[in-house]
Structure 1
Amino acid sequence: MTDTTPRFAFPLLQAGQAQKEMFHNEAIAGLDLVAQPGVVAAGVDTPPSAPESGQSWIVGTAPTGDWTGQAHKLAGWSLGGWRFIAPVEGMAVWVIADALIARFRDGGWMLGIETAASLNIAGDQVVSERRPAIADPTGGAVIDVESRAALGSVLAALRAHGLIES
């Protein structure tokens, strides 16, 4: 039998355990940090000097001070001091300073990068995987010069946005 949960290592109560309220309160404090998490900022290496209870941060890659040894973890300030939670693969956190989602993937935090097979709005697919290259228009009569220029501009924009290959 384990004494902690498998994902976030929250303490579990055991039969006949003394001071169960301490373990229960510690688990609730950890849950408060990871349930619908929102952090002040991501990639921060130096702990703030005057954090407010309930605020949290994503610790950077070279933490100092009270955060030493806690790289990539969620750091939450409580009345009992700093609490740290190790992220799990796929964990998503709202970063208030950037107004973006940070997702823990392959051992690090990716800010504002989302991976999807397609983008659907109101049930209609508007973007999907990149399509093959489309050749620039050529040929035609003199009147086609303006049409070719317009189509060329559209194709250049699609390439610049990465929607079709160059």
Structure 2
Amino acid sequence: MDKTPRWALPMLFAGQAQKELFHNEALTLIDALLHGRAQSADVAVPPSAPEPGQCWVVADGASGAWEDHEGDIACWTEGGWRFLMPKAGLFIDLADRGHAIFHDGSQWRDGAIRNDGLYVEDERVVSERQAAIAAPFGGATIDAEARATIAAILAALRAHGLIAA
């Protein structure tokens, strides 16, 4: 086997000539994957002036140097574009979305934790933190049990950080 099974990193062999080339290629690919961050997952055309180390998740309809690499991670290096095929479980933080995406083995999906809340199956189940809710008071008829229950609910929401104190 001349490459690692998961990310196809080049392996070194005894007596191999120019080992530094294979070693450096492996380091370049690891650098792209380790704590991965991409500029966007919505771009299908390679940028005109990328900086070394910048990466993108190639969008559908890719053209130019990215043609036939839809869904791959494209990283610009001093030696040109390097492409990595995603594997199930890979998370990449996206600069333009402000949250991570992950690969489920067949496609990229938005992560559960986003700037505007927590999502389960792309449905927001916890939203942004809201303003404080005033504790119940007054009224012509005071129902102590109802007020105690509401106060307990508010205390739980505040304890979990879902609303301000």
> TM-score under structure 1 normalisation?
0.67
> Where does structure 1 lack aligned partners over 5 or more consecutive residues?
117-126, 128-142, 152-166
1:93 aligns to what SS in structure 2?
strand
Other-structure match for 2:89: 90
Other-structure match for 1:112: 111
Deviations 1:71-124 (A, max 9, x none): 1111000110000111110100100111111000141111234677xxxxxxxx
- Assess if the C-alpha contact under 8 Å between 2:87 and 2:105 holds in 1: no
1:77 aligns to what SS in structure 2?
strand
- Aligned counterparts of 1:76 and 1:29: Cα–Cα separation in 2: 9
1:25 aligns to what SS in structure 2?
helix
Structure 1 segments, 4+ long, off by >6 Å, are none
> Matched residue pairs, number?
122
1:42 aligns to what SS in structure 2?
coil
Other-structure match for 1:76: 75
2:31 aligns to what SS in structure 1?
helix
Identity %: 40
- Aligned counterparts of 2:108 and 2:40: Cα–Cα separation in 1: 12
Give the superposed CA RMSD. 2.3
Other-structure match for 1:103: 102
> Where does structure 2 lack aligned partners over 5 or more consecutive residues?
114-118, 121-125, 127-141, 151-165
Task: Give the aligned residue type for 2:35.
Answer: Q
Other-structure match for 1:55: 54
- Aligned counterparts of 1:91 and 1:63: Cα–Cα separation in 2: 21
> TM-score under structure 2 normalisation?
0.67
